[in-house]
Amino acid sequence: MTDSKVVIITGGTFGIGRQISIALAERGHHVTAFGLDAAQQSSTAEGSVHSLRKEIAELGLDIDVLEADVTDASAVAGVVGHSLSRHGRIDALVNNAAVGPLGTILDTEEELFDRIMAVNLKGPYLCSRAVLPHLIERGGGSIVNIGSGAGWGKPNMAAYAASKGGVFALSAATAYDFLHDRIRVNTVVPGGGGIISGMSLGRVGGDIANIDKSAPGSAAGRPVTGTDMANVVAFLISDEAAAISGTVIDVGCFANQGGPVKRKDTK
């Protein structure tokens, strides 16, 4: 494809990130996906690095799958170095890695609070900091941060909501700071509720039957999927989105306040 990009995806081995990695590779992009093989807080992602390598081999896709922690600056530098050595450049970064344990301030231990902030907010900071010089050197590029409606505040999500609120602010500030370097920074939010992902499954012990059935879903008549998210990410890293920066795109609906719309009664 003529618009093929070299893309690094954090948390790209599981859940929404995994679907974004596969979808972008299917479009002809050169993807480096990384994550941790061990299950994290509120996640069922154990063995995800190994299983993604097996899946892409079966699909015949060319994705570099690495194990690395977004909270470790040296590990992040290693991923960036790998992508540069393989492809000679970096065009885009997708900051997707996140953990999302539930809890109020009183329910959340200090150690867990620090880990949520480290993955969800420090991770995008470290990865953006490592990639930005290479985007600037190339004369431009794209950073896409995966946000959450919780970033505007949700019940029983104190630390997670705070971290995702920080992502909105970090995205906007970075978009301002590097506008004249032709760096586009945007945030994509899975909206409407009911999305089935590694995080949502992890919160309910991995049992899909416990996913909230009352969520309104989307205008498509179903919950948002990782493929829906990947379609928007693919657009934002493309040359067609060359003038779009500093935006929040809600894939679904009503991510801000959770939505006034209830699921339609089919009785």
pLDDT (tens digit per residue) in 146-181: 999 899 998 999 999 999 999 999 999 999 999 999
Rounded to two decimals, the pTM is: 0.88
> Do 47 and 40 form a contact (C-beta atoms < 8 A)?
no
pLDDT attached to residue 37:
86
Task: Report the Cα–Cα distance between both ends of the chain, in Å, rounded.
Answer: 48
Q: What is the mean predicted confidence (pLDDT) over 74-89?
A: 98
Residue 51 has pLDDT above 70, yes or no: yes
- Residue from 159, 160, 187, 225 carrying the catalytic annotation: 160
Specify the range with the lowest mean pLDDT, choosing from 7-11, 12-16, 39-43, 63-67: 39-43
The DSSP string of 27-85 is TT-EEEEEE-SS--TT---TTHHHHHHHHHHHHT--EEEEE--TT-HHHHHHHHHHHHH
Would you place residue 124 in the very low, low, confident or very high pLDDT band (cuts 50, 70, 90)? Answer: very high
Architecture of domain 6-251: 3-Layer(aba) Sandwich (3.40)
Residue 263 has pLDDT above 80, yes or no: no
Residue 41 has pLDDT above 50, yes or no: yes
> Do 225 and 163 form a contact (C-beta atoms < 8 A)?
no
Question: Of 249 and 217, which is predicted with more confidence?
Answer: 249
176 noted as active-site residue: no
Would you place residue 111 in the very low, low, confident or very high pLDDT band (cuts 50, 70, 90)? Answer: very high
Per-chain mean pLDDT for the chain: 88
pLDDT attached to residue 260:
47
Residue 97 has pLDDT above 70, yes or no: yes
Domains of the chain, residue spans: 6-251
pLDDT attached to residue 219:
82
